């Protein structure tokens, strides 16, 4: 069986970026996490221990986003690595990390990176 768990729209204020002002001022980010797993046993038994706890996913995202990086690619990869190493039963991870109103030359709503790993 293939099941999907999503934790979407994790709102974080963080200090990522290459510009000095990004380190001081910070900005808004959104993180979406999709995990392919098998939660059939949890669905049958109604047992949180047999599936992925959303709170653990959120905690990993918050902890990694709190560590400053120049590139959202870097912090995104750290999040994926921790999810894969700390949560059992993940068959595939898809992470989307969105930087809201990036300080670039132009009127841009957001930029984002997507990482998909088995």
Residues marked as catalytic? 99
Distance CA 83, CA 88 (A): 9
Distance CA 38, CA 91 (A): 8
Q: Where are the beta strands (DSSP E) in 1-118?
A: 3-14, 27-37, 92-100, 110-117
Smallest CA-to-CA distance from 30 within 19, 41, 16, 45 is with 16
User: Which CA distances in Å does 84 have to 14, 34, 44?
Assistant: 23, 12, 24
- The two tokens of residue 103 are 């300080």
């Amino acid at each position: 069986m293939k099941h999907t768990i999503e934790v979407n729209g994790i709102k974080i204020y963080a200090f990522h970026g290459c510009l000095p002002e990004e380190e001081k001022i910070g900005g808004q980010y959104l993180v979406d996490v999709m995990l392919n797993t098998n939660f059939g046993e949890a669905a049958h038994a109604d047992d949180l221990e047999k599936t992925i706890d959303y709170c653990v996913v959120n905690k990993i995202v918050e902890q990694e986003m709190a560590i400053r990086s120049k590139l959202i690619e870097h912090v995104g990869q750290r999040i994926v690595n921790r999810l894969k190493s700390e949560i059992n039963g993940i068959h595939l991870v898809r992470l989307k990390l969105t930087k809201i109103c990036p300080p670039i030359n132009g009127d841009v709503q957001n930029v984002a990176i997507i990482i998909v790993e088995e």
